Amino acid sequence: MRKTLLTLGALLSFSAGLAAHEYDTGNLHIEHPWALAVPTVSPNGAAYLVIHNKGQEEDRLESVDTPRAGKTEIHEHVHKDGLMKMQEVQGGLAIPAGGEVRLEQGGYHLMMFDLKQPLNDGDKFPMTLHFQKAGDLNVEIHVQKNPPADADGGHSHAH
């Protein structure tokens, strides 16, 4: 019995290590901030993360910035005239009480303009998230060729 428990514990800590980096600030929990590696000629890039709000009140991601880019905006994709376009989220991104917001490919993203250096696989760089209630949070963005494996597995990507 004791041996089984120890084995399970080792497995759990191993998978927690694989799940990489997470952050907490106030009632917010942020999972795995990452950016897609892009060809060196691209002046722009996008970063993604998941924000959980464990609190009783809505919070709001008002803006973000990183020294890696000239300008960073919170974007959403919208369907317009049969085309998929992206635009800045006006007034910030609401993080509902007790809910979560996923920034992922094809949806909300942190759009970086005028990259100072190309986003190469394996790079890491800092970004500051400015929340209305939780304040500022510094995170590290990991540049990857592929989206992170989904740790919670409890939702569908069918959209």
> Binders of Cu ion: how many residues, by CB under 5 A?
3
Does residue number 19 form part of the binding site for Cu ion (CB under 5 A)? no
Nearer to Cu ion, 82 or 106 (CB): 106
How far apart CA 22 and CA 13 sit, in angstroms, is 14
Please say which residue, 28 or 111, places its beta carbon nearer to Cu ion. Answer: 111
The string of DSSP letters for 113-159 reads EEESS---TT-EEEEEEEETTTEEEEEEEEEESSPPPPSS--S----
Hey, which residues does 50 pair with through a beta bridge?
Answer: 31, 102
- State the DSSP H helix or E strand holding residue 45, giving kind and residue range, or none if neither: strand 45-53
Q: Name the residue among 95, 37, 94, 33 with its Cα closest to residue 66.
A: 33
Among 111, 115, 134, 143, binds Cu ion (CB under 5 A): 111
Task: For the CB of residue 109, give the shortest distance to Cu ion in the complex, in Å.
Answer: 6
Could you tell me the smallest distance in angstroms from the CB atom of residue 54 to Cu ion?
28
Q: One-letter amino acid identity for 95?
A: I
The answer to whether 68 contacts Cu ion (rule: CB under 5 A) is no
Applying CB under 5 A, which of residues 32, 52, 75, 142 lies at the interface with Cu ion?
75
**Torsion angle of the four alpha carbons 99, 79, 93, 143, in this order, in degrees rounded to the nearest 10:** 90
Binding of residue 86 to Cu ion (CB under 5 A): yes
Shortest separation between residue 30's beta carbon and Cu ion, angstroms: 20
Judged by the rule CB under 5 A, the positions of this chain that interact with Cu ion are: 75, 86, 111
